[in-house]
Amino acid sequence: MIEIDCGLKSRIIAAGQAHLLRYFNELDEAGKRKLTEQLAEINWENIPVLAKDYVLKRPETAIPADLAPADYYRLQGNEELFARAEAKGRELLRQGKVCCLTVAGGQGTRLGFDAPKGTYPIGPVSDRSLFEYFGSSILRMSEKYGAKIPWYIMTSPINREATEKFFREKKFFGLDEADVFFFTQGTMPAFGLDGKLLLSARDSLALSPDGHGGTLLALRRSGALDKMVKDGTEIVSYFQVDNPLVEVVSPRFAGLLALENSEVGAIVLSKTGPYEKLGNFCISSGRTQIIEYSDLPDELAEKRNADGSLQYSAGSPAIHVFSRKFIEGLTSGNSLQLPWHRADKKIPVLDGNGNTFTPAEPNGVKLESFIFDALPMAEKVLLLEGNRAELFAPTKNLTGVDSVESCRKMISERNAGRLAAAGVAIPRGADGSLNAEIEIDPRSVCDDEDAVILVKKSGLKAIEPGAKVVLE
């Protein structure tokens, strides 16, 4: 019969969390085992500290007195440098020194889709999934550069199995299974607003993924970093699962990281307004950091240069490159403590009768760490401006801003732009809006060059008004 270890029990009690054992004696053996395993994973000494600092009071992000906007390489005026960077990036790809990393452990609550977000059918015309966009693109790039591009995919304990199943069903989108490496991020227990940890069932804590900041340590703990060393991977191209427009590897971005010998790089988008919901790249004490949009004081967000442009104009679309060595250094010793960020959520919990229900209002706190909090740990950070229309179509909601709807439009627009540049006539309304839905198979087109090849091969001259096309 399973009994809870005395040492563990006293640590739980000392942390003020004895209520978690309330149903323990009523559980069957499997339930007891499950709960004991979860409880054994928790750092109990830390729980009262987290409750005090993040739950019982609202943590405030301190704005350093010397905070200044970060400078970055602008799209215009650096043509010669970019040409060298692109050549370097292509060389690194040919040498097989670049891998992709997709973070796909989030719960996608805003999308309200009951499966891993990466399986969402985002194609504007076909039902091509987010994962297929990346997988096919990686396959095309690796074909083009004649070298492997290993793909690391971070899942959570909740969606790992369903994610792998999807990849098996889709035959890994033609990729070699050995080049796709799934790994699982850590979890954090959720707190009630009174600082007590929550049970989501009689035999389970309310656990949730520990944020995309969990990626770095999970890379170490899963053996992914060891595999990178074995494969000779030097640069890690990082992107989120909900942005199908991203270039899975940007030769310019990866090449510039290497040329500049930077430890980490971030793509910068010029913000559309002072309150656009993007993190802000800033400098303090000589280090680059991101201040979340919700934490940047209005007077700073509004601050303008003499020409009227925003001072804090550099926004983050969460696209990064990392040197492998930087991640190794950060996680040596098998630990990495990034700051926690608080989010108040509606967390399924037990009612007085021990049955699970989801409350109508936020009843608890989830703590997450964010990957961008690793930026200040680097001595040398590369900030490179990107063209929004070419690389950023976040899919957070079903409709409206940053939605499935807006993302599909942006994919069609991106494809229209590529086809137009290759000489194809594109149907547009009087207001310039695109009058067609255009999908291009990422298996055949991963960049502008490929689009030209596709147009030549197909002899395509024009897209018909109102057409819904998939070009392969």
- How many residues contact ligand UTP, by CB under 6 A? 20
Residue ranges in 161-190 that form contacts with ligand UTP under rule CB under 6 A? 185
Stretch that binds ligand UTP, among 109-117, 257-265, 438-446, 449-457 (CB under 6 A): 109-117
Q: Are strands 98-103 and 235-240 parallel, antiparallel or unpaired?
A: parallel
Question: Minimum distance from CB of 225 to ligand UTP (Å)?
Answer: 17
Question: Minimum distance from CB of 268 to ligand UTP (Å)?
Answer: 18
Give residue 364's identity as a one-letter amino acid code: G
Determine if 211 is a binding residue for ligand UTP (CB under 6 A).
yes
Question: Minimum distance from CB of 72 to ligand UTP (Å)?
Answer: 22
What region, left, alpha or beta, does residue 355 occupy, with left being phi > 0 and alpha being psi -120 to 50 degrees?
Answer: beta
Question: Minimum distance from CB of 372 to ligand UTP (Å)?
Answer: 11
Question: Minimum distance from CB of 371 to ligand UTP (Å)?
Answer: 8
Determine if 413 is a binding residue for ligand UTP (CB under 6 A).
no
Structural contact between residues 48 and 16, judged by C-beta atoms closer than 8 angstroms: yes
**Among 35, 103, 225, 266, interactor with ligand UTP by CB under 6 A:** 103
Determine if 396 is a binding residue for ligand UTP (CB under 6 A).
yes
Determine if 242 is a binding residue for ligand UTP (CB under 6 A).
yes
Structural contact between residues 255 and 235, judged by C-beta atoms closer than 8 angstroms: no
| Pair of tokens at residue 272 | 């559309």
Angle at 83 (CA atoms; ends 80, 87), nearest 5 degrees: 145
Give how far Cα 97 sits from Cα of 94, 149, 234, 382, Å. 8, 8, 5, 19
Residue nearest to ligand UTP (CB): 106
Determine if 154 is a binding residue for ligand UTP (CB under 6 A).
yes
Site string for ligand UTP, 58-97 (x = CB under 6 A): ----------------------------------------
Give residue 206's identity as a one-letter amino acid code: A
Question: Minimum distance from CB of 243 to ligand UTP (Å)?
Answer: 8
**Among 11, 32, 140, 212, interactor with ligand UTP by CB under 6 A:** 212
Nearer to ligand UTP, 375 or 463 (CB): 375
Distance (Å, rounded) from C-alpha 424 to C-alpha 459?
9
Distance (Å, rounded) from C-alpha 255 to C-alpha 177?
27
CA 198 to chain centre: 27
Which of 393, 390, 414 has the alpha carbon at shortest distance from 241?
A: 393
Determine if 104 is a binding residue for ligand UTP (CB under 6 A).
yes
Determine if 336 is a binding residue for ligand UTP (CB under 6 A).
no
Angle at 254 (CA atoms; ends 384, 70), nearest 5 degrees: 25
Determine if 148 is a binding residue for ligand UTP (CB under 6 A).
no
Determine if 203 is a binding residue for ligand UTP (CB under 6 A).
no
Question: Minimum distance from CB of 112 to ligand UTP (Å)?
Answer: 9
Question: Minimum distance from CB of 163 to ligand UTP (Å)?
Answer: 10
The number of beta carbons lying within 10 Å of the beta carbon of residue 171 is 10
Q: Is 442 exposed, middle or buried (0-12, 13-18, 19+ CB in 10 A)?
A: buried
Question: Minimum distance from CB of 368 to ligand UTP (Å)?
Answer: 6
Q: If DSSP codes are grouped into helix, strand and coil, which group holds residue 103?
A: strand
| Pair of tokens at residue 25 | 């004696």
Interacting residues toward ligand UTP by CB under 6 A: 103-110, 117, 154, 185, 209-212, 240-242, 368, 396
